[in-house]
Amino acid sequence: MFLLLQIAIVSALLLYFGKWRKSMRRRNVQSWDTLLCQLRSDWSARDLGDQFLWKEGLNATTDDIWQRLDGPRGLWAMFQNARVMLEMADYANRNAFPGAAQIDPMILETLRSDAMQIRLCVLMALGQYALSQATEGVKVNAYRAANIYSGMAARMTALLQDHAAVILPDFVAAM
Partner 1 sequence: MSVDQLLLCIALVGEIVVCGLVWKRRLWRILPFFATYTAWCFLSDGAGALLLQKYTNASTIYQKYYYTQLIVDAVLQFAVLGELAWSVLRPVRASLPRGARFALYGLIAMAGAAIWPLAAITVPSSITGVDATLFHVGETFAILRIVCFLVMASFSQLLSIGWRDRELQVATGLGLYSIVSLLVTVLHSHMAAGPDYDRLNQLLSASYAATVLYWLVSFATKEQERKEFSPQMQQLLVLMNVGARSTRIALSDLPPEPSSKRTK
Q: Which listed range, 40-48, 67-75, 125-133, 156-164, lies at the site for partner 1 (CB under 8 A)?
A: 156-164
- Contact window for partner 1 (CB under 8 A) among 28-36, 38-46, 69-77, 124-132: 28-36
Question: With contacts defined by CB under 8 A, how many residues of the chain interact with partner 1?
Answer: 74
Neighbours of 27 (CB within 10 A): 15
Of 1, 94, 131, 133, which lies in the binding site for partner 1, with binding defined by CB under 8 A? 94
CA 63 – CA 47 distance, rounded (Å): 13
Residue among 96, 100, 147, 160 at smallest CA distance from 121: 147
Distance of closest approach, residue 33 Cβ to partner 1, in angstroms: 10
The one segment of 1-9, 38-46, 67-75, 125-133 that binds partner 1 by CB under 8 A: 1-9
Residue 170 in contact with partner 1, rule: CB under 8 A: no
Alpha helices in the chain (DSSP H): 2-29, 32-37, 62-68, 72-95, 105-132, 136-163, 168-174
| Nearest residue to 145 (alpha-carbon basis) of 63, 79, 51 | 79
Contact 31, 107 (CB under 8 A): no
Q: Which stretch binds partner 1 (CB under 8 A): 21-29, 38-46, 69-77, 124-132?
A: 21-29
Tally of residues, the chain = 175
Binding flag, residue 8, partner 1 (CB under 8 A):
no
Binding mask 116-155 for partner 1 (x = CB under 8 A): xx-xx--x------------x--xx--xx--xx--xx-xx
Q: According to CB under 8 A, which residues from 45 to 74 bind partner 1?
A: 56-63
CB 73 to partner 1: min, Å:
19
Core vs surface per residue 35-63: b (16+ CB within 10 A) or e: bbebbbeebbbeebbeebbeeeebebebe
Options 114, 129, 138, 175; binder of partner 1; rule CB under 8 A: 114
Judge whether 92 and 108 are in contact, CB under 8 Å. yes
